Amino acid sequence: MTFWIGILLLALAVVGILMLAVKRAGGRSALGIVVALAVPGIALGLYATTGAPELPDQPYAARGDIAERAEMDGLLGELALRLEADPNRIEGWLLLARARLKVGDAKGAADAFARARTLAPDSGEIASEYAEALIHAANGAVSDEARAALAFATAKDPRDAKALFYLGHDALTRGKHAEAIQHWVNLIALSPRDAPWIADLSARIAEAARAGKIDLAAVKPTLMPAEQPARPSREDIRAMVDGLAARLDENPDDLAGWRMLARSWRVLGETAKADEAEARVKALEAKP
């Protein structure tokens, strides 16, 4: 039990590292882009703000307090040993991988993500995280393995934000400015309008356009946000509530149904009907 409490503390520490890194990176950093995209699942893309993105030269591991670092290493080491003894815990491998990435051990993170992929080979999200770790481990270079993982991630979900960001980075490092811009334009199109990373990403797009002599006015997104299911209208809700009321007329001893009906009428502002339904609830609850 003590070990798993420690692992919980490790997870909280990882969050703390993440937020500290964001604060230190400031607004003009790809760190801000990828962290803000984290929607959970997105780890840090610590890149410079001009030219080809590069990995940070001073990871958290070099900044932290020695005792704190030693404690973190101890927890990570113990977690790794536990996972070797019980290798089918995918949540454990993911925690280990993400924590290792945050403390600057990109190679160890990639190894842990690789283990997680063996347990969830169809996960596009894990594939994109694996690719990110490989890119960090290679000091910003994108290997064939990382590129294949990014392709797999976008095949599973063309709107994978992490994969789009790193595909743009890959294209830019190979001098394919138009391709990089397209990936990043798509990422902006998929993002909320007030997303904090848009200004930084827009600056990157502008830099790539200048380098590639590309007219941004001619570049249009080829991806748009997935359509969200339409919310039921007030009329739709009322029709459902009326249907529930009709069903309760036929089955008047349905206590759970009356409770639901009372709440529904209350939400619709039908106070009198809600009071009547609550009276039925009390009557049924009073039955022996």
Q: For the chain, list the domains and their CATH numbers.
A: 2-172 (1.25.40.10), 234-286 (no CATH)
Joined together, the tokens standing for residue 245 give 């009321």
pLDDT of residue 239: 84
For residues 13 and 228, give the distance between their C-alpha atoms in angstroms, rounded to a whole number.
Answer: 34
Is-contact 163 34, C-beta < 8 A? no
- Residue closest to 9 by CA, chosen among 84, 60, 65, 74: 74
pTM of the model: 0.61
DSSP code of residue 40: S
CA 30, 32, 33, 35 dihedral sign is positive
**What pLDDT, in 10s, does the model give residues 97-149?**
998 888 889 999 999 999 999 999 999 999 999 999 999 999 999 999 999 99
Output phi, psi for 229, to 5 deg: -60, 135
- Farthest CA pair distance, the chain: 82
The DSSP annotation for 156-217 comes to H-TT-HHHHHHHHHHHHHTT-HHHHHHHHHHHHHHS-TT-TTHHHHHHHHHHHHHHHT--GG
Range of lowest pLDDT (6-10, 102-106, 145-149, 270-274): 6-10
Which has the higher per-residue pLDDT, 21 or 176?
Answer: 176
CA 209, 212, 218, 219 dihedral sign is negative
Characterise 283 by phi-psi region: left (phi > 0), alpha (psi -120 to 50), beta (else).
alpha
What single-letter amino acid sits at 251?
N
Of the pLDDT bands very low, low, confident and very high (cuts 50, 70, 90), residue 31 is very low
Express as a percent the part of the chain with pLDDT over 70. Answer: 74
As a whole number, the mean pLDDT across the chain is 78
Q: What is each CA distance from 206 to 56, 122, 213, 252, in whole angstroms?
A: 22, 35, 10, 66
pLDDT of residue 152: 98
DSSP code of residue 222: S
Is residue 217 scored above 90 in pLDDT?
yes
For residues 106 and 260, give the distance between their C-alpha atoms in angstroms, rounded to a whole number.
Answer: 51
